[in-house]
Amino acid sequence: MSPEIETIETLLVDLPTIRPHKLSMTTMACQTLVIVRMRHSDGIEGLGEATTIGGLSYGPESPEGIKLTIDRYLAPLLIGQPSSNLNALRARMDRHVRGNSFAKSGLETALLDAQGKRLGLSVAELLGGARHDHLPVLWTLASGDTQKDIDEAFQRLNDRRHCDFKLKIGANAVDDDVRHVSAIKRALGDRASVRVDVNQAWDEATAARGIAALESAGIELIEQPIPAREYAGLTRLAERFIVPMLADEAVHDATDGFTLAAAGFSDAFALKIAKAGGPLGVLELASVAKAAGIGLYGGTMLEGTLGTAAALHAWATLPEMAWGTEMFGPLLLKDDIVAEPLHFHDFGVDLPQGPGLGVTLDEDKLAHYSRQD
Ligand code: MUC
Ligand code: MG
């Protein structure tokens, strides 16, 4: 008889960042992880994480909202159901709860972790098998200060931790941003690639001006320059410039991916398990991208180790991603809630080994950082 899902617990975990992380829509001094603990009748516990950025500033699900959605709406749909049929459980969640992909991603991750532990297989093996065991990882320079960002970049390069950098822009006037980015690119020269993420801050005309200047400064990739739903505008910018556009907030799941591709967009997609409702959904989007010849990038919501590991298992099953990954979330946090950190070295990270996600909790740290109210 198939084991059943018995209990689902959600915890809000507040972890300080190593420095303020400045994005166009918020400055983060702390990251809140929503941790999922799912216990099954065979004694197995599956772990998951559903994490967003800056409360409601990145998207429509907040940490507190994710916890409430799981506790009140999604957990009752899953409790008492057979644990092993992930396809049936995903369909059940989608039939009764619209949207809320971040909450669903945390639950799908916990189901995959439990099934992997049950069968003695890693999540990547459950998803068809890993093609890589070490994945490239970029670092985001977002201190808000040009010289500090340059110093940080050289430190990361010299430690052989990162050689690709993403700069968060859009909070300042476009000319100031262009000066900031160009100075960093000039300092790094050919030693590193530099990309920017505007997080939707520009209108199309500002974007055209900013991108022209960034392209001549040698910037490699322009992430989400204009609002998420302006598909036609993003496609126009992609056609107008040689430097590619990376769709992030514009592309959540396979349906968005198809819509963008059908509109003529052919540059690159930022995959994130949270946006797609979990590892299975994000691989559906990857298939659409592959069919449309769109480049892939392994994106993060600045998750802790659990969420980062879940994404790494998905990325490991794909052919080499054209733009690598940004799975550095745990490195931005002063501490974490796991027993063994991920191993970052040689400009990338190792895929965690062992059954399920290959990650175990440090119960003392989890208790220490969990929100009490
Ligand atoms: C985003 O919009 O891409 C990813 C890296 C980072 O620094 O912020 C995130 C969010
Ligand atoms: Mg982004």
CATH code, domain with 327? 3.20.20.120
Report the pLDDT value the prediction gives residue 306, as an integer from 0 to 100: 98
Same domain, 257 and 307: yes
Using a pLDDT cut of 90, give the percent of the chain over it.
99
Summarised one tens digit per residue, pLDDT across range 201-238 is 999 999 999 999 999 999 999 999 999 999 999 999 99
Q: Is the CB of 141 under 6 A from ligand 1?
A: no
What's the pLDDT score for residue 68? 98
Please check whether residues 78 and 199 belong to one and the same domain. Answer: no
Q: Which is it for strands 27-40 and 222-223: parallel, antiparallel or unpaired?
A: unpaired
pLDDT of residue 237: 98
Mean pLDDT value across residues 25-33 = 96
Residue 238 amino acid letter: A
Decide if 113 is inside a domain: yes
Separation between Cα atoms, residue 168 and residue 151, nearest integer Å:
16
Q: Are residues 237 and 245 in contact, defined by beta-carbon separation less than 8 angstroms?
A: yes
Return d(Cα 33, Cα 21) in angstroms, integer.
16
Q: Is 260 a residue whose pLDDT tops 80? A: yes
What is the domain extent for residue 173? 126-350
* 91 lies in the same domain as 222: no
What are the pLDDT digits (tens) for 85-119?
999 999 999 999 999 999 999 999 999 999 999 99
User: Is the residue at 198 inside a domain?
Assistant: yes
Number of domains forming the structure of the chain? 2
Mean pLDDT calculated for residue range 115-130: 98
Mean pLDDT of 63-77: 98
**pLDDT range class, residue 349, cuts 50, 70, 90:** very high
Residue 203 lies in a domain: yes
Confidence of residue 373 (pLDDT cuts 50, 70, 90): confident
Integer CA distances (angstroms), 296 to 29, 152, 318, in order: 29, 26, 10
Q: Which position has the token pair 């000066």?
A: 179
102 in the same domain as 152: no
Distant-in-sequence, close-in-space partners of 12: CB < 8 Å, separation ≥ 6: 32, 33, 34, 63, 64, 67, 370, 371
- Flag whether pLDDT at 1 surpasses 90: no
Q: Is residue 357 part of a domain?
A: no
User: Domain check: are 255 and 326 in the same one?
Assistant: yes
> At CA 316, angle to CA 337 and CA 279, rounded to 5?
65
- Rounded to an integer, the average pLDDT of 287-308 is 98
pLDDT tens string 5-21 = 999 999 999 999 999 99
Q: How far does Cα 149 stand from its chain's mean position?
A: 22
Q: What is the DSSP letter of 79?
A: T
| Cα-to-centroid distance, 3 and ligand 2 (Å) | 39
Would you say the CB of residue 302 lies under 6 angstroms from ligand 1?
Answer: yes
3-state helix, strand, coil in the chain (%, to 5): 40, 20, 35
Res 356 pLDDT > 80: yes
**Ligand 2 centre and the CA of 354: distance in Å?**
30
182 and 82 in one domain?
no
Q: What is the mean pLDDT of the chain?
A: 97
The 10s digit of each residue's pLDDT in 110-120 is 999 999 999 99
What ligand 1 atom has the least distance to the C-alpha of 168? 7
% of residues, the chain, pLDDT over 70: 100
Number of helical H runs and strand E runs in the chain = 15, 13
Residue 356 is assigned to a structural domain of this protein: no
Q: Is 246 in contact with 270 (CB distance < 8 Å)? A: yes
> 274 and 141 in one domain?
yes
Do both 116 and 155 map to the same domain?
no
With CA atoms as reference, report the closest residue to 103 among 140, 75, 145, 130.
75
Is residue 81 domain-shared with residue 165, that is, in the same domain? no
Check 104, 168, 185, 275 and give the catalytic one: 168
Q: Is the dihedral of CA 344, 349, 351, 357 positive or negative?
A: positive
Any ligand 1 atom below 6 A from CB of 197: yes
* Ligand 1: residue whose CA is nearest its atom 10: 301
Phi, psi of 269, rounded to the nearest 5 degrees = -115, 135
Residues 241 and 329 in one domain: yes
Find the CATH number of the domain harbouring 47: 3.30.390.10
**Contact present, 223 and 246 (Cβ < 8 Å):** yes
180: closest CA among 193, 244, 172? 172
Active site residue 148: no
| Closest atom of ligand 1 relative to the 249 alpha carbon | 2
Residues 158 and 100 in one domain: no
Strand, coil or helix: 3: coil
User: What pLDDT, on a 0 to 100 scale, did the predictor assign at position 236?
Assistant: 98
**Residue 138 in contact with ligand 1 by CB distance below 6 A:** no
Task: Give residue-wise pLDDT tens across range 177-204.
Answer: 999 999 999 999 999 999 999 999 999 9
Band of pLDDT at residue 2, cut at 50, 70 and 90: confident
In a domain, 355, yes or no: no
Q: 169 and 92, same structural domain? A: no
20 φ/ψ angles, rounded to the nearest 5 degrees: -60, 135
> Which residues touch 353 (CB under 8 Å, ≥6 apart)?
122
Q: Give the mean model confidence (pLDDT) for residues 316-341.
A: 97
**DSSP per position, 103-127:** HHHHHHHHHHHHHHHHHT-BHHHHT
301: left (phi over 0), alpha (psi -120 to 50) or beta: alpha
Q: State the complex-level ipTM.
A: 0.98
Q: Which two tokens stand for residue 24?
A: 């166009």
